[in-house]
Amino acid sequence: MQVYHGKSVCGGIAIGKVSVYGRPEGRVEREEKQNQEAEICRYREAAGIALEQLDGLYEKALRQVGEAEASIFEIHRMMLKDSEFQGSIEDIIHTLSVNAEYAVARTAEDLEQKFQACEDAYMRGRAADIEDISRRLLAILQGREEERIQEKEPVILLADDLAPSQTVQLDKSQVLAFVTARGSLNSHTAILARTMGIPALVGTDIPLDESLDGRPGIVDGAAGMLYIDPDRETCARMRKALEEEKEKKELFRTLIGKENLTLDGQSIQLHANIGSIKDLDMVLQNDADGIGLFRSEFLYLERNDFPTEEEQFRIYRTVAEAMGKKRAIIRTLDIGADKQCAYFGMEKEENPALGCRAIRLCLTRTEIFKTQLRALLRASAYGRLAIMYPMITSVKEVRRIREIEEEAKAELEARGLPQGHPEQGIMIETPAAAMISDLLAREVDFFSIGTNDLTQYVLALDRQNQSLDEFRDTHHPAVLRMIELTVENAHRAGIWAGICGELAADPELTGEFLAMGVDELSVAPERILPLRKAIRETDVSEYIRIR
């Protein structure tokens, strides 16, 4: 038996034959071309065909995985039409007098390197999208057929990497799971895999050898393991786990429409954390009570320039209308620290986690902030939107936010544009905010505790430094006391308090949070139903007696 390790994209277990997929090479040679205009015309014609193909993929994805995930191909269209991408290709053709294929490959390579150098994992995942777009253009320019993966029987697919366009065309009845040697957890391929419910691993330490083709294999998506030629004991264990997994899924589905009510009658709200409108279908499918955290910074991280007020308004309005009467909390942009955005032109900092990030950036670049606020205020007229501000440390900051918001409101009134009256909340993710939460509670409508950064700052441990994992204790009494203090001060002031960090989904703390009186837990959409099950099996009075 051979055992390989990868990063888990989507949990689940798959048992079947292995099929090794070898991508056609389509090698690009540099050729001297004197007629640059002819090459530019070739490129533009290829780009037009590529846009038509992406339209077809969008329609296919719309039928298979829904509108939110189909928008991946809208993003590919935007990238393909991006002026920087187009300009680079045409400039290379002009200045170097080379063939269109070489210019496309060179531009793609430069952009991929740029994305891969980003500190933010989500932005590194965009390199795969650039690769997908350039592959499509090169296939058209070279007269090759669009690559498709076709299997004649259900298999575990092994590949160096898969593009989003290949992933969405996979026949779920024929692909039990896929495992790639490369790839990112934040790539659109990974996002599609999670939506389609295909067990998947990326970054797997497996040699892509044809000798693996046809051999029996098992993928344990949750554990990030691939077994080739599994022994009898492993087969028996994984078959049993597969049956248990099926039973659990059926049980979770029966919880749709049920209340988040403990055995002794205490209720709590279960909201979802999402990064874009692509995740809305998952929120609704998993029966979330609302959106507890919409990370608006991804609107900025996915682009090469600032999103306009109109672009943001359309996205926020989509969120508001999709959620209807359910609350959707939009966090204002949290750029900085590990989420860097080149076009912001931020100075390099020795310790960006303690630098100009999140609300500090907004309060020092008020025009960027006001653009987002105007979009949010307008969108709040179409549903139950709430606005949440990150990295707060003082009452002074909250009051300055209110002043800027009043300016944004006045500007909208002057333009005669409708606006709503969204709830205003702040994230409690610094020790300073937790310690003065009694004062802050008088200024806002709700608190949402960001346990990821709160833990980092309380324990003085860099959350990006994996070598400190042995010192990282997310259940540290100091962290839990900060959370409890915040909840108590919120309730004294008559406002609600939730948790939107990773700890919200920690089953070991569910009873503890209920005993503290936490009003809301916001987690990844797929964690909603398992967490509902845990809540419905909890007797809070037992935890209160122990404390």
The 8 Å CB, 24+ separation contacts for 231-240 are 231/1, 234/1, 235/15, 238/13, 238/15, 239/15
Look up 500 and say whether it is catalytic.
Answer: yes
Express each pLDDT in 86-99 by its tens digit.
Answer: 899 999 998 999 99
What pLDDT shows up at residue 279? 79
| Mean pLDDT to the nearest integer, 253-262 | 90
Express each pLDDT in 230-257 by its tens digit.
Answer: 999 999 999 998 888 887 777 777 888 8
How far out from the chain centre does Cα 423 lie?
Answer: 24
Determine the Cα–Cα distance for residues 481 and 100; give it in Å rounded to an integer: 61
* pLDDT(344) > 60: yes
Q: What DSSP designation does 308 have?
A: P
Express each pLDDT in 178-189 by its tens digit.
Answer: 888 877 665 656
**In contact, 281 and 66? CB cutoff 8 Å:** yes
Which range, of 290-304, 312-326, 332-346, averages the lowest pLDDT? 332-346
Determine the Cα–Cα distance for residues 239 and 231; give it in Å rounded to an integer: 12
Determine the Cα–Cα distance for residues 532 and 260; give it in Å rounded to an integer: 6
Determine the Cα–Cα distance for residues 240 and 156; give it in Å rounded to an integer: 19
Q: How would DSSP label each residue in 156-201?
A: EEEES---HHHHHT--TTTEEEEEESS--TTSHHHHHHHHHT--EE
What pLDDT shows up at residue 76? 83
Look up 271 and say whether it is catalytic.
Answer: no
Of 10, 341, 362, 500, the catalytic one is 500
Mean pLDDT (the chain, rounded): 85
Q: What's the pLDDT band for 519 if we cut at 50, 70, 90?
A: very high
What pLDDT shows up at residue 338? 53
| Mean pLDDT to the nearest integer, 57-63 | 76
Highest mean pLDDT pick, 20-29, 275-284, 522-531: 522-531
Cα atoms in the 13 Å half-sphere on the side-chain side of 443: 23
What pLDDT shows up at residue 20? 86
What percentage of the chain has pLDDT greater than the value 90? Answer: 47
Give, in degrees to the nearest 5, the angle at Cα 487 between 484 and 488: 85
Express each pLDDT in 455-465 by its tens digit.
Answer: 988 998 876 66
Q: What's the pLDDT band for 84 if we cut at 50, 70, 90?
A: confident
Return the percent helix, strand and coil in the chain, to nearest 5: 50, 15, 35
Four-residue CA torsion sign, 373, 375, 380, 381: positive
Of 118, 188, 341, 362, the catalytic one is 188
Of the candidates 172, 179, 173, the one whose C-alpha atom is nearest the C-alpha of residue 158 is 179
Q: Please state the pTM of the whole predicted model.
A: 0.62
Which range, of 224-233, 320-329, 465-474, averages the lowest pLDDT? 465-474
Residues contacting 22, CB < 8 A, separation 6+: 208, 210
Determine the Cα–Cα distance for residues 372 and 309; give it in Å rounded to an integer: 6
Residues contacting 523, CB < 8 A, separation 6+: 270, 271, 272, 273, 504, 505, 531
Determine the Cα–Cα distance for residues 56 and 234; give it in Å rounded to an integer: 42
More confident residue, 186 or 127: 127
| Mean pLDDT to the nearest integer, 325-353 | 75
Query: Which residue in this structure is represented by tokens 């606005």?
Result: 387
What pLDDT shows up at residue 93? 93
* pLDDT(414) > 80: yes
Of the candidates 306, 305, 296, the one whose C-alpha atom is nearest the C-alpha of residue 367 is 306
| Mean pLDDT to the nearest integer, 211-219 | 89
**In contact, 183 and 200? CB cutoff 8 Å:** no
Determine the Cα–Cα distance for residues 395 and 332; give it in Å rounded to an integer: 18
What pLDDT shows up at residue 431? 96
Q: What's the pLDDT band for 69 if we cut at 50, 70, 90?
A: low
Determine the Cα–Cα distance for residues 266 and 507; give it in Å rounded to an integer: 17
Which range, of 127-136, 232-241, 378-387, averages the lowest pLDDT? 127-136
* pLDDT(337) > 60: no
* pLDDT(547) > 60: no
Q: How would DSSP label each residue in 520-546?
A: EEEE-GGGHHHHHHHHHT--HHHHHHH
What pLDDT shows up at residue 68? 56
Q: What's the pLDDT band for 121 if we cut at 50, 70, 90?
A: low
What pLDDT shows up at residue 342? 63
Q: 10 Å Cβ neighbour count for 372? A: 24
415, exposed or middle or buried, with CB in 10 Å at 0-12, 13-18, 19+? exposed
Determine the 3-state secondary structure of 428 from DSSP: strand
Highest mean pLDDT pick, 253-257, 352-356, 449-453: 449-453
Q: 10 Å Cβ neighbour count for 88? A: 18
Determine the Cα–Cα distance for residues 46 and 473; give it in Å rounded to an integer: 54
What pLDDT shows up at residue 160? 81
Q: What DSSP designation does 304 have?
A: S
Tokens of 156: 């575990």
- The string over 422-453, giving b where at least 16 C-beta atoms fall within 10 Å of a residue's C-beta and e elsewhere, is bbbbbbbbbbebbbbbeebbebbbbbbbbbeb
Relative to beta strand 446-449, strand 520-523 is: unpaired
What pLDDT shows up at residue 460? 87
Determine the 3-state secondary structure of 212 from DSSP: helix
Determine the Cα–Cα distance for residues 256 and 165; give it in Å rounded to an integer: 32
Residues contacting 286, CB < 8 A, separation 6+: 272, 525, 526, 528, 529
Determine the Cα–Cα distance for residues 10 and 224; give it in Å rounded to an integer: 9
Q: What's the pLDDT band for 497 if we cut at 50, 70, 90?
A: very high
What pLDDT shows up at residue 207? 81
Express each pLDDT in 427-450 by its tens digit.
Answer: 999 999 999 999 999 999 999 999
Express each pLDDT in 458-494 by its tens digit.
Answer: 998 876 666 777 787 889 999 999 999 999 999 999 9
Determine the Cα–Cα distance for residues 308 and 124; give it in Å rounded to an integer: 23
More confident residue, 87 or 168: 87
